[in-house]
Amino acid sequence: MKCNSILLLLAFLISGCSGAQSVLNANGHAAIALKELILAIVLVCSAVWFLVMIALVSALARRRIRESDAISERKATVVVSGAVGATVLVVSGLTIASFHTTRALSEAEDPELTIVVRAQQWWWQFTYVDPRSTETFVTANELHIPIGKDVRLRLESGDVIHSFWVPSLAGKQDLIPGRENILTLRAERPGVYRGQCAEFCGLQHSHMALFVIAEGVADYERWAEGQRRMSVDPSEAEAVAGKAVFMARQCAACHTIRGTGASGTTGPDLTHIGSRRTIAAGLLENTRGSLAAWIADPQKLKPGNNMPLVPLTSDELRQLAAYMEVLK
Residue 215's DSSP bridge partners are: 146
By the rule CB under 8 A, 38 interacts with other proteins: yes
Subset of residues 185 to 224 that bind other proteins, contact rule: CB under 8 A: 194, 196-207, 209
Give how far Cα 252 sits from Cα of 17, 30, 221, 258, 260, Å: 41, 40, 29, 11, 9
Which range of residues in 112-120, 171-179, 228-236, 238-246 is near other proteins by CB under 8 A? 171-179
SS3 state of residue 289: helix
Is 181 a binder of other proteins (CB under 8 A)? Answer: yes
Q: Give 172's DSSP letter.
A: -
Q: Which stretch binds other proteins (CB under 8 A): 2-10, 108-116, 141-149, 212-220?
A: 2-10
Residue 242 engages other proteins in binding (rule: CB under 8 A):
no
DSSP string, 38-82: HHHHHHHHHHHHHHHHHHHHHHHH-------HHHHHHHHHHHHHH
CB of residue 189 to other proteins, shortest distance in Å? 17
Contacting residue, 253, 287, 288, 328, with other proteins by CB under 8 A: 253
Least distance from C-beta 161 to other proteins, angstroms?
6
* Residue nearer to other proteins on the CB measure, 27 or 196: 196
For other proteins, which stretch binds (CB under 8 A), given 72-80, 128-136, 268-276, 287-295? Answer: 72-80
Q: Which is nearer to other proteins, 138 or 281 (CB)?
A: 281
Q: Which stretch binds other proteins (CB under 8 A): 26-34, 143-151, 184-192, 219-227?
A: 26-34
The span of 86-94, 135-143, 269-277, 318-326 binding other proteins (CB under 8 A) equals 86-94
Among 5, 12, 43, 53, binds other proteins (CB under 8 A): 53
Query: Minimum Å distance from CB 293 to other proteins?
Result: 14
CB of 58 to other proteins, least distance (A): 7
DSSP 306-326: S-------HHHHHHHHHHHHH
Handedness of CA 129, 130, 134, 135 (dihedral sign): negative
Instruction: Specify the amino acid at residue 214.
Output: A
Task: Decide if 192 contacts 169 (C-beta within 8 A).
Answer: no
DSSP state of 133: G
**Helix or strand or coil: residue 166?**
coil
Least Å from the CB of residue 323 to other proteins: 17
- Measured from the CB atom, the residue of 56 and 230 that comes closer to other proteins is 56
Which residues 278-307 are close enough to bind other proteins by CB under 8 A? 282-283, 297, 299-300, 303-304, 306
139 and 183 in contact (C-beta within 8 Å)? Answer: no
Query: Residue 116: which of 98, 136, 88 has the closest Cα?
Result: 136
Q: Do 101 and 34 touch, CB atoms closer than 8 A? A: yes
**Region from 139-147, 221-229, 242-250, 315-323 binding other proteins, contact rule CB under 8 A:** 242-250
Site membership for other proteins, residue 99 (CB under 8 A): yes
Helix ranges (H only) for the chain are 4-16, 29-61, 69-104, 217-228, 237-248, 251-254, 288-296, 298-301, 314-326
- Give me the least distance between CB of 217 and other proteins, in Å please: 27
